Amino acid sequence: MTNYLPLLAAAVGGYLLGSIPFGVIATRLGGAGDITKLGSGNIGATNVLRTGRKDLAALTLIGDVGKGIVAVVLAWFLTHDPAVVAVAGGAAFLGHLFPVWLRFKGGKGVATFFGVLLFSAPPVGLAAAATWIAMAFLFRISSLAALTAAALAPVYALLFDQPYAYVWLALFMGVLIFVRHRANIQRLLNGQEPKIGAGKKKD
C-alpha cells in the first residue's frame, strides 16, 4: 500500500512555509506601511523597493527565496524522495502565490521559484538564474528575464537528466509564473514594460 502521508505532510508544510508574507511583515515592522496598498499591491521584493527602503526589499527577497529553500531541504532531509521534495517545493510556491493569510492574494513567485529550484535541482536552478541574469543584462526588463527563465526551466530539467518529479515541478511553476505575469506580458507586447532602473532615471 502506498504511503501518502509524506506527500500530504510535504504539501501542507510546504504551503504554510510558502504562505509567510515576508514583504508584508518586513514593511510593517520596518514602518513602511502596508505593502498591499502600495504600487502594484504585490508582496514581492520589487514592490517593496517602491517604498524606497532597499533594506526591506533585500529582507523580502531573502525571505521569499529562503522559504522555498527550507521547504525542499526539509523534505529531502526527511525522505530523500524526489516526489516528496517536488510536492514540498510546489506547495511552497503555491503558498507564496495564494497565501491564505492575505485572502489568497500573493506575489508572482519568481524569488520562491529560484529558491525551490536551486536546492531541489541545483543544475536547473543555476541555469535558470544564469538565464535571468543574461536576459536582464541584454534587455534590462525584469519580467522578460523571469518569463524566459521560467519557460526554459523544464527544458533545463530534461537536458540535465533530472528526476521527472523535478521536470514536472519546473513546468508547474513556470506555467503559474506566466499566469501571474499576464499584465506584464501584455505590456511587453505593447512595448510598454518599464526597464530596470527606468524609475530612477525619471527621478
pLDDT digits (tens, 9 = 90+) for 104-155: 999 999 999 999 999 999 999 999 999 999 999 999 999 999 999 999 999 9
Domains contained in the chain, number: 1
| Whole-number pLDDT of residue 53 | 92
| Whole-number pLDDT of residue 198 | 64
Which amino acid makes up residue 5?
L
| Whole-number pLDDT of residue 200 | 43
CA torsion through residues 19, 23, 28, 30, sign: positive
Q: Are 173 and 93 in contact (CB under 8 A)?
A: yes
SS (H, E, C) 32-52: CCCHHHCCCCCCCHHHHHHHC
- pLDDT tens for 35-84 read 998 888 899 998 998 888 999 999 999 999 999 999 999 999 999 999 99
Mean pLDDT, residues 5-11: 96
C-alpha to C-alpha distance for 195 and 140, rounded to whole angstroms: 5
- 201 has pLDDT over 80: no
The residue segments making up the domain with residue 165 are 5-202
Q: How many CB atoms lie within 10 A of CB 24?
A: 19
| Whole-number pLDDT of residue 168 | 98
C-alpha to C-alpha distance for 57 and 25, rounded to whole angstroms: 11
pTM: 0.93
